[in-house]
Amino acid sequence: MADISKNILDKIKKGNVRPIPKYYFLFKRSILWSLFGLSILLGSIASGIVIFLLIHFEWDIYHHLGHSLIGFILLVFPYLWLIFLLGFSIFTYLFFRRTEHGYRYKTVWIVLLSIIFSILGGGLLYVTELPERLENAFQENLPFYRGLEDHKKNVWMSPDQGLLAGIIVNVNSKESIQLKDLNGTIWNIHIGNAIWRGRLTPSENLEIKIIGHMKEENQFIAEEIRPWKGKKHRGRMRENRKTGDNR
């Protein structure tokens, strides 16, 4: 035993080996736990946006499109944010695995718990309305993200199936408005018996979605009118915002 100890000491002296300072391990540990927490936070944000999109999507319109409920879910589900959630869960696993006691836990439990924590965190963030603000910011500032939202536009641009969306360009009377749809076509909308949701009132430059039926070419009978964006937004088309035209 003495010979072994002597040989080790000789190798240490010859190799000029120095002990690693304690602060190095503390710093490494703090970095790993910070990355672990950041992954959970980002996963919570992704989860919160998924929750927001699922809650505020109009599930009652699927029968207008001739889809089954399952088919409609497959059409509108926010797959991008689901991929982000799974990706951040994998990062969480990788960072946690490198912590001091991370090796003790099975992979499946680490990933499963990270997803659960992200969903719980997403639920808490949803209450703060942060996911809604981020979703709107992404749509306004990220061109590729706006492209991913085209499926929502396609759903509402089905006038022959009772769905229409666009911006009000003129309020003719209490019975009629003019609408420019998402493709730039002008429609005359009969609103005499329409129900306005979200505390909306007829006004120019208002983004809306309409449920009703097409009377004839460019003539539409509105039964229900909803704001284009979520529960609080009555906003305008992006081209109006760019020109600084604010209500």
Nearest 5°: phi and psi at 214? -80, 125
- Could you read off the pLDDT of 22-66 as tens digits, one per residue? 666 677 677 877 878 888 888 899 888 888 888 877 776 766 665
Q: How far apart are the C-alpha atoms of 123 and 166, rounded to whole Å?
A: 31
- Could you read off the pLDDT of 130-166 as tens digits, one per residue? 888 888 888 777 776 766 666 667 778 888 888 999 9
Lowest mean pLDDT among 74-78, 155-159, 227-231, 233-237: 233-237
Mean pLDDT of 63-73: 63
Residue 180 scores a pLDDT above 80: yes
CATH 3.30.70.2520 fits 158-242, yes or no: no
Answer left, alpha or beta for residue 169, where phi above 0 means left and psi between -120 and 50 means alpha: alpha
Report residue 2 CA to chain centroid gap: 65
Q: How far apart are the C-alpha atoms of 227 and 205, rounded to whole Å?
A: 12
Q: How far apart are the C-alpha atoms of 78 and 49, rounded to whole Å?
A: 9
Could you tell me the residue ranges of all domains in the chain? 22-148, 158-242
Residue 78 scores a pLDDT above 60: yes
